Amino acid sequence: MAVLVTGGAGYIGSHTCLELLNAGYEIVVVDNLANSSTESLKRVQELTGKDFTFYQTDLLDQEAMEVVFKQNKIDAVIHLAGFKSVGESVRLPLRYYHNNMTGTLVLCQLMQEHAVKNIVFSSSATVYGMSDSVPISEDFPLSATNAYGRTKLMIEEMMKDLYESDPEWSIALLRYFNPIGAHSSGKLGEDPNGIPNNLMPYITQVAAGGLNELHIYGSDYPTRDGTGVRDYIHVVDLARGHLKALEKVVSSKGIEAYNLGTGRGYSVMEMIASFEKVTGQRISYRITDRRPGDIGVCYSDPSKAERELGWVALKGIEEMCRDAWHWQSNNPQGYQKEKPILFTGIS
């Protein structure tokens, strides 16, 4: 049984591919390398000792994607490919709608044509918008406060319509909270383009000397120490959640959303303290104004995934910090990225 992993060279993708191969799955990877490198796939191959097929292809290239489906017996899809920067999506909404929405449309149309109706979709906790209560469960109201979050929300809605039109589909919508950390080998990890938007890669680059101080966005939130609280989840736990969702979509029909989080929230100050404790690195920081669009507190109720998928996050915050630092200190320049193929279209 071949599993097509779109975006398989990325941060979540490479960790998911490693878990799939180690579990004995045959995989086919599609990635346009816009935000990733084949180096991550080479390392997945080294770590697992297993080969797999890779296409450097853009989902928007319908002809190229047709070839993927014709050349491989795909039984299920794990769809991770997509742009994911909130800030960039506000500046370039059309690029985000075209890439994330049209790319998913092309994928789903090809799946339908080839009678492949099992899909695990990479959604996000951003579909809960500015939720005013925690812990967040899957039945909370959905909304979006930026173009990126709206693409995730609209794709979820599109998939619900798809299932309504054809109950033969089996769809899992995985709402990620805050993935951080890296594989324990230190060979895979998060390698953002340019200055990191997210907290943990910023911290590890300060620790590595690439950035001189962390700006803490606000210390006047209604939290233990005034700084923002999030539900950080180890990327390996997150990857393993995809395998549990895959098992479910290949064995039943329907469409369900699942929170992939730990159910615990940590503040920025607590993350800094934990990182300094387990790595011995000191993180200099400065408190600055709140980041527009940020919420104060966000963490999950992950009990539905535990109940229905038999999945629970096992790794604690110290292991997340240790593994994040192990990756960054072993790879101060991340992966050396190749030139991506970007399909012509709306920019």
Count of residues of this chain found to bind ligand WQD when the rule CB under 6 A is applied: 19
In order of 146, 188, 223, the CA distances from 179 in angstroms are 20, 14, 21
Which range of residues in 53-61, 99-107, 211-219, 239-247 is near ligand WQD by CB under 6 A?
211-219
* 148 has catalytic annotation: yes
Q: Which residues have C-beta within 8 Å of that of residue 95, sequence separation ≥ 6?
A: 83, 88, 346, 347
Handedness of CA 277, 283, 284, 287 (dihedral sign): negative
In the numeric block, the tokens 């527009």 are attached to 292
- Does position 215 interact with ligand WQD (CB under 6 A)? The reply is yes
Beta bridge partners of 207: none
Cβ pair 11, 235 in contact under 8 A: yes
Whole-angstrom distance, CA of residue 240 vs CA of residue 85: 24
- Does position 193 interact with ligand WQD (CB under 6 A)? The reply is no
Q: Between 286 and 339, name the residue whose CB sits nearer to ligand WQD.
A: 286
Peptide bond connecting 141 to the previous residue in cis, omega within 30 degrees of 0: no
Select the residue interacting with ligand WQD from 53, 158, 217, 283 (CB under 6 A): 217
Which range of residues in 6-14, 49-57, 63-71, 195-203 is near ligand WQD by CB under 6 A?
195-203
- Catalytic residue, chosen from 55, 96, 128, 148, is 148
Which range of residues in 209-217, 246-254, 308-316, 337-345 is near ligand WQD by CB under 6 A?
209-217
How many other C-beta atoms can be found within 10 angstroms of the C-beta atom of residue 160?
A: 14
Query: x/- contact string, 261-290, with ligand WQD (CB under 6 A)?
Result: -------x----------------------
R_g of the chain computed on alpha carbons: 19
List residues binding ligand WQD (CB under 6 A): 84, 86, 124, 126, 176, 178, 197-199, 202, 214-217, 228, 230, 268, 291, 294
Residues designated catalytic? 148
